[in-house]
Chain A
Amino acid sequence: MTDVRAEEAAAGLDIVPSGAGSGGAGAGSDGAGSDGTGKSAPPSFGISGWLTWGWRQLTSMRTALVLLFLLALGSVPGSMLPQEGADPAGVQQYFTSHPALAPLLNHLGLFNVFAAPWFAAIYLLLFTSLVGCVVPRTFRLAGSARSLPPRAPRFLSRLPHSAGYSTALPPDEAIEAAAGVLARRGFRLRRAPAAETWVSAERGYLREAGNLLFHLALLGVLVSIALGGLFGYKADKLLVAGQTFADTRSALDEFHPGRLVGGGDLPPFTITLNQFAASYLESGPDRGQPSFFDARISYTASPGDPARSYDLEINRPLSVDSTKVYLIGHGYAPVFRVTDARGQVVYNAATPFIPGSTGNFLSEGVVKVPGAQPQQLGFLCVFVPTAVDVGGTLESVFPAAGNPAVSLIAYAGDLGMNSGVPQSVYQLDTAGMRRLTTGTELLQPGQTLRLPGGRGTIAFTGYRQWVSLQITHDPGQLPALACGIAALAGLLLSFMVRRRRVFVRARAGERGTTVQVGGLARTDASGGFEDEFASLANELAAAHHSTGPARQSETGE
């Protein structure tokens, strides 16, 4: 920013104060305030002027900060309201508990914030703003990091730090000696033209390098995030103990691919859940809180590979073939065996149930038996891991399966499955069905319920546990981390390194040569330059075998 001003001043431009640019300001006014002020008035000329002005506004630091704030603000509902992607059941629950408010929120996209158009608008603008701001700055910094120190000012005693003394050395030799001292101290030098006797020196260019690193790393972070968005994916899979799944599109319950992910891009691993164990606190105020989860799995990285075993725990994901597999949830899958009116076994499977919000893993689920003859059968069920009868209703008093029980309502009729319209496996469409049982029927493991009218039987034969796995592939994660670290390192460098200049002039006088040393710290926020300058001045004087008294002043004049 400063150099822009300087350039304008040098070019003889009038900088029009803000607000005065309506009629007579002329074309020059938009030159003011590139990044930072953002107060330049709209220019009064055509489309290209408006575009330039708009681009300046968009890429100003202030706009970037406002957009960043909006982004943070916009993600607040994402963490306060249930989201479609992460918690579809929660969204449904919200709709039933807030029937008036929910449709309005849904219209605003607040149940899927991160896919909402307004959210995309914010981050696309932010991205453009950052790129437009950072790229030109990077070029400027790169220039600045290579630049030589300026010419020595005429009167060094006016600088914030200065010293002077006399020496017997002729001026050119004195300058040579001073240049030697400064070069040994790591200063970058600018030598005077032949007729003059001065030397300029500057160090602390690492500050600019740090700044440059910070900006480049910032761009790197943006690119990494884009990489992750284009080539990464996220998938969910529910896996019942004893079952295997192969990582392929149709096996996944949910699949959210990046824009450039094809169907054949999934690594061909298989995972078998051998056993799942969860333990809970047995006593104390936190009784029933989980204390430990452990999913024992075996996996093959690709077909034909030997099977390896692994203990999947919360925050201990499995890394396989550039993807990570996380354990994110668990639940119960009671096993049912259903026979129809003809005595055929038409269903015999572990059926995953979803834990309800009431706690202690009271879980709800549905058994659909489309193959039952002569009519299809359906069951609305509740699984209770540790059941206690409280005044006629079942309650779960502990999340572990201490006294498992199932209560169910049986239906017969048309499940609505043959029309081909997809339906949720966790919901029973009873529109075409008739309720067979008046109350709820209670079953314990091993018990069988005879359906009225000889329609068949349902047996609750036991239960298994399931885990839900999240499979993520984010190729931008590691680059983003590296760039984040680099950005931090660059920022630290640019904060900690001071850029400081030292100038030495020698003039021939009556009593030998007069040497003037001047010093200037361009950014001396933390102080400490005066000590460095004093020791440097002493060293220079010593190198010059100074004869006169070393005079030192803190400030010019």
Chain B
Amino acid sequence: MSDQCNPQSCGCGSSRASQDGDGDTQRRQFLKFGFASFAAMAGAVGFHSFEAKAQSKKGDAKGETCGGPTPALSTSGKLIDPITGKEIEKEPHYHSHAGNKAVREGIPNRKWVMVIDLAECDGCEKCTSSCSKAHNTPPERQWIRVFKMSGTAEKKPYWFPKPCFQCDDPPCTRVCPVDATFKRQDGIVLIDNERCIGCRFCMAACPYSTRYFNWGPVKNVVEAGYTPEKSTPRKMGTVEKCDFCPDMLREGKLPHCATACTMGAIMFGDANEDAVTDAKGRTYRLSKLLAEKGGYRYLEELGTKPSVYYLPAKNPTYDPPKIDESEIKEVAMNFGFAKENSNV
């Protein structure tokens, strides 16, 4: 993330205005979940204060922000304690046990969004491999999966990376019988694998087929320090999926897929700030970008309100995917990839 959209740069209260600008969904969501009072409180709390809270791990955010000194921002973009003059250390290893309030509520005053420019994606799958590496996923599992979209005679084929859409009205969290998967106020949908009972109702409910189940024994690199924000270590018999890397976000970094995208096709940012940044360090105004390039959300008509936007594959900068015509059978107007399920 570049400096101008660095989470630290928005101090107390400064982001309240921008939230009103683009925070329609968020506002509704607050009201819906009865978080209105929390929102008012959170509006006064910057990201840094949360870090302070995470470090001390006690007390409520409000008391700590307004009570303590307001950190200053150095020219190099580091947070400085105005009294001691020392750099405020970022939490090196954010850790919380399941059920931790902060994990369930999310990063205050944020509304994380992803924008994927289909005209830039060349299908290299670096996003997938970097995500898989970071999350130690088994070989076949791809939290962000790149689809070959064929289109029709009128529409050129194109690449379509699909992470979890982190819907603002998620069908998955609604059906969870034990609140193991939940929607946070910063827009992220997470899973607590210490709570999950493995009924897989969320998988059935997700119209985007974005969730994965640990069908058998799992191999973890590290066995300790689980938090839903890291989604690892994974556990047998529980569900997992793309989590928008909240552990990276807490450190002010982009998610792994966005960092790995050499084309700069994956942009990530905060809708409250109305800004998204790509791996090349370019920052765009979200509303302008979506308006100018005709941004859309996939299957928006389902009413799930995804947090992932796509920019259409107009004048692509890459070679379109090659489609083996003999393997596919056109069935409908948009995607022609439904093979006949003759031998399943």
Partners in one complex: no
- Report A's interface with B, CB cutoff 8 A: none
